[in-house]
């Protein structure tokens, strides 16, 4: 699988060959139960960690060429319930990129001004320009998740949004933005553990919001809302991936691998030197 840091090649260990994400196919039955949050035959921690580090080195190289090439943008959308690991992925995977070429955007409840615009207004503005990788920590999908579950808008409004989202993402794809969307899927049991840990760990307690417990109580409603978003909005232009996220290391490996595969498929090229510079540099050596 591609070249490693400084041009050296690397390949994934045999036991990880089949551990990869597949895009959601809207025709399939979407599974969001506890089992889907884990992988069978969990590989050894060190093997996973080493492989993820190699993938991240590869991402560093790929981003350099991607940035220099400048013909496309890449947008990684991260969605998931509270404590599903969105911040963890940003730290582990986006940490591989040169910060000057990455833009991370978080979406909280809309401001009064944002509410006076269409729901995609604030999102469109955060889409990365060509040459840049954008990571969305939550996204326009909140407008068919929390907005639906908490009845922030009438059903006729959120129902119409799936088609609007597909059209928006198609516009992005047509404009050179490569869109990949990850739903970090944790089981109810694992989320319970993580929220309990947050309550008792002074380094994590600040992350706990009052709404987290309310959202947990609405677990099944969110599951239905996620299923619809995944089913209706996994397109060729902007596929969804369900990332089993009960184990942080598996989660990071899977996202890193999907990004490496995506970026390798772009085949970014370093632009040739400007002939005028070449000419001016004659004799410089």
186 binds ligand ADP (CB under 6 A): no
Number of other residues whose CB lies within 10 A of the CB of residue 194? 19
Closest alpha carbon to 71 in 260, 271, 239, 262: 271
Piece in contact with ligand ADP (CB under 6 A), picked from 103-111, 183-191, 226-234, 253-261: 103-111
- DSSP class of 33: S
For the bound state, the minimum distance from the C-beta of residue 262 to ligand ADP, rounded and expressed in Å, comes to: 24
143 vs 169, beta carbon nearer ligand ADP: 143
26 vs 211, beta carbon nearer ligand ADP: 211
162 binds ligand ADP (CB under 6 A): no
209 binds ligand ADP (CB under 6 A): yes
57 vs 169, beta carbon nearer ligand ADP: 169
72 vs 140, beta carbon nearer ligand ADP: 140
70 vs 110, beta carbon nearer ligand ADP: 110
108 binds ligand ADP (CB under 6 A): yes
Among 24, 54, 135, 147, binds ligand ADP (CB under 6 A): 147
Do residues 76 and 259 touch, judged by C-beta distance below 8 A? yes
Beta bridge mates, 179: 75
Beta bridge mates, 106: 137
The H or E element containing residue 60 is: helix 45-69
DSSP 153-222: S-HHHHHHHHHHHHHHHHHHHHTTEEEEEEEEE--HHHHHHHHHHHHH-TTTGGG--HHHHHHHHTHHHH
Measure the N-to-C terminal CA separation of the chain; round to a whole number of Å.
37
How many residues bind ligand ADP (CB under 6 A)? The answer is 15
Among 143, 169, 190, 246, binds ligand ADP (CB under 6 A): 143
62 vs 182, beta carbon nearer ligand ADP: 182
Phi first, then psi: give them for residue 57, nearest 5 degrees. -60, -40
Rounded to the nearest 5 degrees, what angle is found at the Cα of 117, between the Cα atoms of 115 and 119?
75
Among 3, 138, 188, 216, binds ligand ADP (CB under 6 A): 138
82 binds ligand ADP (CB under 6 A): yes
Phi first, then psi: give them for residue 264, nearest 5 degrees. -65, -35
Looking at beta carbons, which residue is closest to ligand ADP? 142
Cα separation, 221 vs 218, whole angstroms: 5
205 binds ligand ADP (CB under 6 A): no
63 vs 139, beta carbon nearer ligand ADP: 139
- Among positions 110-129, residues that touch ligand ADP (CB under 6 A) are 110
List residues near ligand ADP by CB under 6 A.
Answer: 82, 86, 107-110, 137-138, 142-143, 146-147, 152, 209, 211
């Amino acid at each position: 699988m591609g070249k490693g840091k400084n041009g050296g090649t690397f390949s994934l260990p045999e036991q990880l060959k089949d551990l990869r994400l597949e895009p959601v196919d809207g025709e399939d039955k979407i599974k969001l139960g506890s089992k889907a949050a884990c992988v069978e035959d969990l590989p050894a921690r060190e093997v996973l960690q080493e492989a993820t580090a190699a993938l991240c080195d590869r991402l560093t190289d790929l981003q350099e060429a991607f940035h220099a090439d400048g013909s496309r943008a890449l947008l990684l959308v991260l969605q998931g319930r509270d404590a599903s690991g969105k911040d963890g992925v940003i730290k582990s995977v986006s940490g591989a990129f040169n910060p000057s070429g990455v833009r991370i955007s978080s979406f909280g409840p809309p401001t009064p001004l944002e509410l006076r615009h269409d729901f995609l207004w604030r999102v469109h503005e955060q889409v990365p320009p060509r040459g840049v990788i954008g990571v969305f920590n939550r996204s326009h999908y909140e407008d068919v998740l929390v907005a639906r579950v908490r009845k922030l808008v009438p059903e006729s409004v959120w129902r119409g949004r799936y088609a609007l989202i597909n059209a928006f993402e198609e516009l992005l794809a047509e404009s050179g933005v490569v869109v990949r969307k990850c739903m970090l899927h944790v089981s109810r049991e694992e989320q319970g553990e993580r929220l309990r840990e947050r309550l008792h760990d002074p380094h994590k307690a600040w992350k706990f919001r009052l709404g987290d417990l309310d959202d947990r109580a609405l677990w099944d409603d969110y599951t239905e809302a996620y299923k619809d978003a995944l089913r209706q909005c996994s397109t060729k232009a902007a596929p969804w991936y369900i990332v089993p996220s009960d184990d942080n290391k598996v989660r990071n490996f899977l996202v890193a691998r999907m990004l490496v595969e995506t970026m390798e498929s772009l085949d970014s090229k370093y632009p040739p030197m400007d002939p005028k510079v070449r000419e001016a540099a004659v004799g410089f050596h």
